[in-house]
Amino acid sequence: MLNVETSGTIQRLLPFYRDLLGFRLTDYYSHPFEAYFLHVNPRHHSLAMIRTGKNAVHHIMMEVFSLDDMGQGYDIAQRDGRVATTMGRHTSDFITSFYTFTPSGFMVEYGWGGKAIDPDTWVATERTIGPSLWGHERSWLSPEKRAEALALRLENARQGERRPVQVMEGNYELVPGVCPWWDSVRGKGAGNGE
């Protein structure tokens, strides 16, 4: 993801990435900060531009196979005081991730479970529910923008925003039944002729 100084900077950069390099717009949002997500393959996005007030690399993303790998990396980043953005889940690609500062000052997003899209049929839209379903408290945002991001996450919870996890073959096991409580209720009812 690239930091950009102004909205005008994003608008000047988009034609280069779309028209010359072949990226296509996946989606975008404007609150609590402006961000545009672009794809070149079935991965939801391979490049993003985010308005932060400076021009620099914001972060690179490393996606791991196992949720436990991501969680264990989070433990190490917490131990070493390097968490830049707490664990959370994005509204765009539904990845569960956290961000850590590198020694040189930019961030690495470390995550699991990114969304794939069909690039041939995908239609870009504006996301109005913010960048995260839950979590992702951003230490690098101003207090006002952090409050705005929290308000969006709390509204997502109030609205019941939920998304299925994105898993690869061999990276999951299905549990029997639907819900332990519901299955126990159904089992009791079945024995009573209900």
pLDDT in tens, 108-164: 999 999 999 999 999 999 999 999 999 999 988 899 999 999 999 999 999 999 999
Fold classified for 2-191: 2,3-Dihydroxybiphenyl 1,2-Dioxygenase; domain 1 (3.10.180)
Q: What is the pTM of this model?
A: 0.83
- 146: exposed, middle or buried (Cβ count in 10 Å: 0-12, 13-18, 19+): middle
Rounded to 5 degrees, what angle do the CA atoms 1, 14, 62 make?
Answer: 20
So where are the chain's domains?
2-191
- Residue 5 pLDDT greater than 90, yes or no: no
β pairing state of 83-90 and 107-112: unpaired
Phi, psi at 69, each rounded to 5°: -60, -45
Nearest CA among 31, 39, 131 for reference residue 85 = 131
Contact partners, residue 148, CB within 8 Å, separation at least 6:
31, 32
Contact between 131 and 149 under an 8 Å Cβ cutoff? The reply is yes
- Residue 192 pLDDT greater than 50, yes or no: no
- Residue 93 pLDDT greater than 50, yes or no: yes
